[in-house]
Structure 1
Amino acid sequence: METYTTDDALTKMGFGRSQALVLVYAGMGWVAEAMELMLLSFLGPFVREQWNISPQNESMLSSFVFAGMLIGACAWGFVSDKYGRRTGLLFSTMFTSGMGFLSALSPNYLCLMALRFLVGVGVGGSHVFISWFLEFVPAQNRGTWMVIFSLFWTLGTILEASLAWVVLPALNWRWLLALTALPCVLMLPFFGLTPESPRYLCVQNRMADATAVLERMASANQSDLPPGVLIYNRETKTDHGNLASESECLLPVRQKECKVDDAVSSESGSLAALRTLLSRDLLKSTLLLWFVFYANSFAYYGIVLLTSQLSDANRSCASGVIFGLHQKDTNIYKDTFITSLAEIPGLILSAVLVDWFGRKASMWSMMFACCAFLGPLVFHQNELLTTILLFGARACAMGSFTVLCLYAPEVYPTYVRSTGSGIATAIGRVGGVVCPLVAVALLGSCHQMEALVVFEVVLCLAAVACMFFPVETKGRGMD
């Protein structure tokens, strides 16, 4: 009897109208996350002025959001692996929009911190959009489409900077919070158009449902499915150490029957998934991914903060005066807008490298390039050179982050893909929590050299870690 896999079906039908729908919907999820995170660049100074809070309490606002994202990344990953990708998408989106609107009505700072923490929990599910989208994309051009998908993040940062530029001088921060929650609300009416992942359905042994989804996709793309019966996967050769097949190295699944292995099915939920992620075959990949996610988040969000902090630190350290922000001062909006544009060349660079140079080499090369751009900033530079160097560093950080977000879902098998990516993303959020201690605290204390050396060391270690990833996933099907 003839058979075909999900990868065979996706390759035959190509990227068409059905995948475009998934791309736009998942992309809106990333627009929403980018806007919620870029919001932190503007929110702190204004609530500090309104409620007369200390700088230490102001910094806690960002930390609470990232802490919520850490919890949400794990929680929504488990939900989407156990109950389906669409379930995870729907409830994380509803939760984010609801908490976002409520936070705009906060009567005091403690209430605002609590509600923004809950917004972070909702936004923590954004990695589910990545896993969901990639499970619809043919293997041979998955890297290119991931880069295109990442453009939605850049779009979100530009939209938030533009929105803040218009709203904050004319209205106030409450309006900005409410308007920032709108993308999530706009996604809800279109949820009924979204399909469940056929890979997820197959792992759940729902072969008829998976076939039905693929048939609708093929019809929308004006194509046909391969002849035969859908099966989960075929054994294929791989470069993962000395193991004989993809199924052995990454997927403890009975291929023909499409059943989860006994170790996982006999245990409950997240504990079973965690045991799988830390199993002998996946342990090295998991630990390295955790560190690289931490380091890349630390570097990316740190560079975002350095854009404003370096200039302010140079002036304050030279004069002994601490410069503040004023609501009518448009420099912060202009600077954020310009530095957000740096991500576009980073995405172009990753698009060129990812399917030609490979995932691993793309990541470590862009991390080393980021180190090269940050190196001269160990010493004070003039404003123009500082801007150019930070522009290049952010482009490389965005490029490596994009490839990393592609690589993580490719490494893990379908039934723990969202959980594995979610935990790695959660570890990355810790980097986001820690980086202000370096980018803000050290620079504010006139320790520019020490701050930049920390960023250099973290990036170099992450680049070396990328070289030790045991799997190169370029051109490979997803299990």
Structure 2
Amino acid sequence: MSQILSAVRRTTRGRLTADYEDLDGQVTESLPSGGTIPRQLEDNYDNHMAEADEIEMTSVSVIPDDTFTVTQAVNAFGFGKFQVKLSLFTGLCWMADSMEMTILSILSPALHCDWHITRYQQALTTTIVFLGMMLSSTFWGNLSDRYGRKQALTLCAVLLFCYGLLSSLAPNFLWILFLRGLVGFAIGCVPQSVTLYAEFLPTKQRAKCVVLLDCFWALGACFEVLLALIVMPTLGWHWLLALSTIPLLAFALITPWLPESARFHVASGQPEEALATLQKVAKENGKPMLLGRLVVDDAATLTPRGRVTHLLRSELRKTSLLLWFIWIVCAFCYYGIVLMTTELFETSCADQSKAVTNLECAADCKELSTQDYVDLLWTTIAEFPGIFATVFVIERCGRKNTMAVQFVIFAVCICFLFICTENRVFLTIMLFLSRGIIAGVFQAAYVYTPEVYPTPLRAVGVGTCSAMARLGAMVTPYVAQVLMQSSLTLATSVYGLAALLAAVACFFLPIETKDREMVETVAQRS
């Protein structure tokens, strides 16, 4: 019987039935020739079988090595071929978005000359795009959290391509306002590509990869300026809008190959789909699939998904309110620099001094010259050093400190624009530094926001922050294009003060997400 008990204790799941059969054979061999089992042996055998069942049930509940989470799997698979492909896919989305945004600083002066619109109407052509983005950001966040990141991005790509192409056919100012507003509505989904991308990144590489994603934004902006340099002098803004939709078409065509987020599958109660996605990641990265069972946190599946009101609950209220303000200032300052660049290049210092006493100069038409486009390209290239500086600093100093320090540096740089100078080189350098710094701040915010929200609220959290950013972007044309015509000093002071206030807000954020894993529930944030 000691042999029987020893064999039972060595049983494991999957081999239990076979071992029982072996035990039956051992017992049968030891039976008398009559084949009758002694009563004592039968009782002892039954008792040991019950003990084996108890051992098996205990092993299922206490052994930790046979389970894993999505975070553990993503970290184990590392950064490989799968993430490289996803970087290119989401990067193309960002490139297309960047081109549509860069158009704003080029389209306004063109419409000013072509249709003789006023300064306020110029500002309105920019504001209407950001209004559409603001109104749609929470919609796309809800859609993404409820039906998946892939589904939302696919719909976004199709709508954005159609509305962008139709914008090139606009016959008058009212039509261009309507269609550009629809373009803004579709663009509101683009931040969800960051949500999808971040959820597939290992913890150690997440910050630098999300920041480097901004390289595609900078490439899109540079490409748009070069396209405008070639197209605008001969074909005009209609063709510029049409040709700018090419990356949108490319992204729309590749969306069927986009993966759905494994974290979304887990949060929505679909562990089988999540496991299939993780197996695909392991295969493409050349790593073995983790053994065991994928753990689904019941709290994550029960957390309400896609509800803006939950961002204002006690656990998230302070974080959400501070982030909303930071995102507002990010967009306000970033798009302010973008719009100010063409305004400063279009108007000389002498023209600005006249504008202080005579606002009718807004009716005058001065098209951007080749040199203006070249200088605009230089200030756009500034985003690259801003990105690389952020990559270097963000993992060393943390997300909060990086954003705060960069806001302060931006405020200092913008102050140098108080001095109206005919020195084109000095002006270009100041704009170069300002744009590079604020681009880095914006990208640091894109790193921090998905990290600080739990999976069930991550997309709506990013979407709501994006909506708040568009509020700042809606206001900035009236500072960069209207107020600046009256007082350059007052306009730049507004940007500097806003940046300093945002720096203070960064220090008050309750959580530093550096080296922290992305959480599945609100309780895991503490």
Q: For 1:429, which of 429, 450, 470 is the aligned residue?
A: 470
Q: For 1:128, which of 177, 192, 198 is the aligned residue?
A: 192
Deviations 1:177-214 (A, max 9, x none): 11111111112222221110000000011111101100
Deviations 1:351-403 (A, max 9, x none): 00111111001100111111121223233344333322221111110111110
Which AA in structure 1 matches 2:201?
V
Cα offset, 1:47, TM superposition: 2.5
Task: Provide the residue aligned with 1:417 in structure 2.
Answer: 458
Is 2:519 aligned against 1:455?
Answer: no
Task: Provide the residue aligned with 1:66 in structure 2.
Answer: 130
Task: Provide the residue aligned with 1:292 in structure 2.
Answer: 326
Q: CA–CA distance in 2 between the matches of 1:327 and 1:441? A: 18
Is 2:438 aligned against 1:438?
Answer: no
Task: Provide the residue aligned with 1:315 in structure 2.
Answer: 350
> What TM-score do you get using the length of structure 1 for normalisation?
0.90
Asked if structure 1 preserves the Cα contact closer than 8 Å seen for 2:79 and 2:205, the reply is no
Q: CA–CA distance in 2 between the matches of 1:305 and 1:50? A: 19
Which runs of 5 or more structure 2 residues have no equivalent in the other structure? 1-62, 520-526
- 1:152-231 equivalences under 5 Å are 152-231=216-295
Q: CA–CA distance in 2 between the matches of 1:148 and 1:176? A: 27
Task: Provide the residue aligned with 1:239 in structure 2.
Answer: none
Once structures 1 and 2 are overlaid, which stretch shifts more, 456-465 or 15-24?
Answer: 15-24
Asked if structure 1 preserves the Cα contact closer than 8 Å seen for 2:105 and 2:342, the reply is no
Q: For 2:311, which of 277, 300, 320 is the aligned residue?
A: 277
Deviations 1:14-69 (A, max 9, x none): 11111111111111111111000100111122223333333322221111111011
Asked if structure 1 preserves the Cα contact closer than 8 Å seen for 2:123 and 2:481, the reply is no
Cα offset, 1:325, TM superposition: 5.2
Task: Provide the residue aligned with 1:362 in structure 2.
Answer: 402
Q: CA–CA distance in 1 between the matches of 2:188 and 2:83? A: 24
Once structures 1 and 2 are overlaid, which stretch shifts more, 382-391 or 185-194?
Answer: 382-391
Which AA in structure 2 matches 1:385?
F
Cα offset, 1:308, TM superposition: 3.1
Q: CA–CA distance in 2 between the matches of 1:97 and 1:377? A: 37
Asked if structure 2 preserves the Cα contact closer than 8 Å seen for 1:89 and 1:128, the reply is yes
Asked if structure 2 preserves the Cα contact closer than 8 Å seen for 1:168 and 1:327, the reply is no
Q: CA–CA distance in 2 between the matches of 1:188 and 1:450? A: 43
Q: CA–CA distance in 1 between the matches of 2:249 and 2:484? A: 38
- 1:7-26 equivalences under 5 Å are 7-26=71-90
Q: For 1:397, which of 426, 433, 438 is the aligned residue?
A: 438
CA spacing shift, 1:37–1:414, aligned 2, 3 Å: same
Asked if structure 2 preserves the Cα contact closer than 8 Å seen for 1:368 and 1:463, the reply is yes
List 4+ stretches of structure 1 deviating above 6 A. Answer: none
Q: CA–CA distance in 2 between the matches of 1:316 and 1:78? A: 47
CA spacing shift, 1:328–1:299, aligned 2, 3 Å: closer
Q: CA–CA distance in 2 between the matches of 1:56 and 1:93? A: 30
Task: Provide the residue aligned with 1:249 in structure 2.
Answer: none
**Identity across matched positions, percent:** 33
Asked if structure 2 preserves the Cα contact closer than 8 Å seen for 1:13 and 1:221, the reply is yes
Is 2:170 aligned against 1:106?
Answer: yes
Query: Larger radius of gyration, structure 1 or 2?
Result: 2
Q: CA–CA distance in 2 between the matches of 1:277 and 1:364? A: 23
Q: CA–CA distance in 1 between the matches of 2:484 and 2:112? A: 20
CA spacing shift, 1:129–1:166, aligned 2, 3 Å: same
Cα offset, 1:453, TM superposition: 1.4
Which AA in structure 2 matches 1:421?
V
CA spacing shift, 1:325–1:20, aligned 2, 3 Å: farther
Task: Provide the residue aligned with 2:69 in structure 1.
Answer: 5
Asked if structure 1 preserves the Cα contact closer than 8 Å seen for 2:112 and 2:365, the reply is no
RMSD between aligned alpha carbons?
Answer: 1.7
Q: For 1:90, which of 130, 154, 163 is the aligned residue?
A: 154
Task: Provide the residue aligned with 1:140 in structure 2.
Answer: 204
Q: CA–CA distance in 2 between the matches of 1:472 and 1:385? A: 37
CA spacing shift, 1:185–1:196, aligned 2, 3 Å: same
Q: CA–CA distance in 1 between the matches of 2:289 and 2:135? A: 40
Cα offset, 1:347, TM superposition: 0.2
Secondary structure at the aligned position of 2:233 is classed as: helix
Residue-pair matches, total: 448
Asked if structure 1 preserves the Cα contact closer than 8 Å seen for 2:93 and 2:248, the reply is yes
Task: Provide the residue aligned with 1:238 in structure 2.
Answer: none
Q: CA–CA distance in 2 between the matches of 1:370 and 1:16? A: 35
Q: CA–CA distance in 1 between the matches of 2:72 and 2:214? A: 25
Which AA in structure 2 matches 1:78?
N
Deviations 1:249-296 (A, max 9, x none): xxxxx34xx4223xx3xxxx75xx112100000000000000000011
CA spacing shift, 1:369–1:327, aligned 2, 3 Å: closer
Which AA in structure 2 matches 1:12?
A
Cα offset, 1:326, TM superposition: 4.5
Asked if structure 2 preserves the Cα contact closer than 8 Å seen for 1:358 and 1:474, the reply is yes
Q: CA–CA distance in 2 between the matches of 1:75 and 1:215? A: 31
Task: Provide the residue aligned with 1:119 in structure 2.
Answer: 183
Q: CA–CA distance in 1 between the matches of 2:412 and 2:122? A: 32
Once structures 1 and 2 are overlaid, which stretch shifts more, 424-433 or 180-189?
Answer: 180-189
Deviations 1:213-233 (A, max 9, x none): 000110011102322211146
Q: CA–CA distance in 1 between the matches of 2:424 and 2:369? A: 19
Cα offset, 1:4, TM superposition: 1.1
Secondary structure at the aligned position of 1:126 is classed as: coil
Once structures 1 and 2 are overlaid, which stretch shifts more, 277-286 or 161-170?
Answer: 161-170
Asked if structure 1 preserves the Cα contact closer than 8 Å seen for 2:150 and 2:259, the reply is yes
> What TM-score do you get using the length of structure 2 for normalisation?
0.82
Once structures 1 and 2 are overlaid, which stretch shifts more, 360-369 or 387-396?
Answer: 387-396
Secondary structure at the aligned position of 1:39 is classed as: helix
Which runs of 5 or more structure 1 residues have no equivalent in the other structure? 234-253
Q: CA–CA distance in 2 between the matches of 1:27 and 1:426? A: 21
Task: Provide the residue aligned with 2:369 in structure 1.
Answer: 329
Cα offset, 1:313, TM superposition: 5.6
Q: For 1:388, which of 429, 433, 450 is the aligned residue?
A: 429
Deviations 1:70-118 (A, max 9, x none): 1121111111111101111000111100111111111221111101100
Q: CA–CA distance in 2 between the matches of 1:40 and 1:305? A: 8
Asked if structure 2 preserves the Cα contact closer than 8 Å seen for 1:31 and 1:183, the reply is yes
